[in-house]
Amino acid sequence: MEDELINVQETNELKPSTDTLIVLNIQANQVEMVKGVDQEGNLQKFPPQDKKENDQLIRVDKHGDLFSNFFSNFYRQLKNPTHFNFFKVSEYDAVNTAKDLQRYVDQASPGEKEKLKDYEVLPKNNNNPQNQNTMENNTENQEYRFQPQQIDWKTMEKFGLNQEKLEKMNAMDSLLRGFKTNTLIPITINLGTAVSKMDVRLSLQTEDTGQVAVHLHGIRKEPNLNNKFLGHVFTDEDKKNLKETGNMGRVVDLVNPKTDEIIPSVISRDRLTNELVAYRAEYMKVPDEIKGIRLDEHQKQTLLEGRALYLEGMTSKKGESFNAAVQFNADKRYVEFLFGNNQAQKQSQQHNQRQTQHTDQEAPKVFRGKELDDSQYEKFKAGQTIYIDGLTDAKGKTYQGYITFNKETSKTDFSFTNPNKLKEEAKPTEDYKTQTAVNTQGKTNEATKNVKEPLESKQQQPAHKQQEDQQKKVRKPRGQKL
């Protein structure tokens, strides 16, 4: 008995006190333990009596805010969340609590089951409209993607870091939200024979195995803009924008090197490390209001296209009026201010002027790294379909196709086959042209010009003897003798 008591005490000392989730499937009336959510959004669960699975149950720090943010993120990923009631319980009482709850729901009346709602866990909602859809609290509104216990602290120790140090540097919050640290973190790498010290930004990323890995983002002297970046070739204007504003200023197609998926994205330069960062265009969010200026749909679209937007008459926290350019930053994942950046202001004003005048200067001169010659560009910006070759995919293979500039959407449509081919195939044949010209447009055909009856479909010659006689008959012009 004494040995058993010692073992229990040792176990409690080794394992920190955490909370977990148990779930009631409303439709099946079944209580189970929660393991997680799979990639399809299905709830992963197991019976409470299965002791082998207990080590895989969800563990969440008892800290209130951490649990609330974790559960909100968990609930958002879940498919059909309303089919379940979730309850937060202590990890060590979870199995017994689940069994007790199962006995309760097996015998409870519908009215008694309704009382369970007083104890279930619900996702955290922010009902303060002042904090929604604005540029305030850019990162604070992001939910936690990771928990402290998911971090590989053994690896962190190799860099001379631990949780206490990161908390003192105010780095933990951004890491847990899935961002890079806001500042450079000094680390030490001890290789045994050599010790290296450097400043890096840290981030957490989920690997294909499901493990959370620590990534180091070292400082580069300058961004590498001369080589392809995920299949994209930087133009001179792209390079200039990235160096001067930190944002490339447009949405481009990038290629996922693992799946070859084409992903429209924006690109920015990490201003602390000079690392290039891409962000999916479909994930971009822009606020409804920026410092007292309500954005219209045109202004929102400008930001969603990655362009800079110059705003006048904004109001600072001190109540003072100010002007500045704003732009979506792929590294920060939100719309940022570009104070004192004349290049961003110039880009924004030029774009607004082009939109107002509806000129055709929006047509890009470069498509997927291939620059159009003057003849091609004139046709392309006029809305004509042009053939383009010498394009290179992510694997270095060349391909070709047809591009058309859509003036209404300012987008470039690409096709491997000529889109005009279908139109050409749908054109009327010469037979139908003759019929339409004679019967509808009042024109004449030399072979049937004296035929009195309307021409039939595909008819180009006299159809019978009567029409042959009409065609051979030559009418005498008035006032002349033959």
- pLDDT tens across 258-281, in order? 888 899 999 999 999 999 999 998
Q: What pLDDT is recorded for position 127?
A: 34
Percent of the chain with pLDDT over 70: 70
Distance (Å, whole) CA 334 – CA 138: 7
Q: Read off the tokens for 453.
A: 């009856």
Contact between 390 and 398 under an 8 Å Cβ cutoff? The reply is yes
Q: Read off the tokens for 314.
A: 């904004």
Kindly report the average pLDDT of the chain as a whole number. Answer: 76
Give the pLDDT mean for 417-443.
Answer: 53
- 299-352 residue pLDDT tens: 988 999 999 999 989 888 888 888 999 999 999 889 999 876 555 555 555 555
Is residue 457 over pLDDT 50?
no
51 residue type, one letter: K
- 349-383 residue pLDDT tens: 555 554 444 444 468 888 877 888 888 888 888 88
What does the angle CA 264 – CA 268 – CA 272 come to, to the nearest 5 degrees? 155
Give the DSSP per-residue string, 116-147: GGGTS--------GGGSSBSTTTTTTSPP---
Give the pLDDT mean for 186-194.
Answer: 81
Question: Which is higher by pLDDT, 204 or 195?
Answer: 204
pLDDT confidence tier of residue 298, bands split at 50, 70 and 90: confident
- 26-80 residue pLDDT tens: 878 899 988 888 877 788 888 887 565 566 778 776 655 567 767 777 777 777 7
Find how far residue 72's CA is from the centre of its chain.
Answer: 21
Distance (Å, whole) CA 199 – CA 181: 12
Total-model pTM: 0.46
Distance (Å, whole) CA 156 – CA 176: 15
Q: What pLDDT is recorded for position 225?
A: 93
At 250, which helix (H) or strand (E)? none
Question: Which is higher by pLDDT, 241 or 473?
Answer: 241
DSSP 247: B
Is residue 439 over pLDDT 60?
no
Contact between 300 and 290 under an 8 Å Cβ cutoff? The reply is no
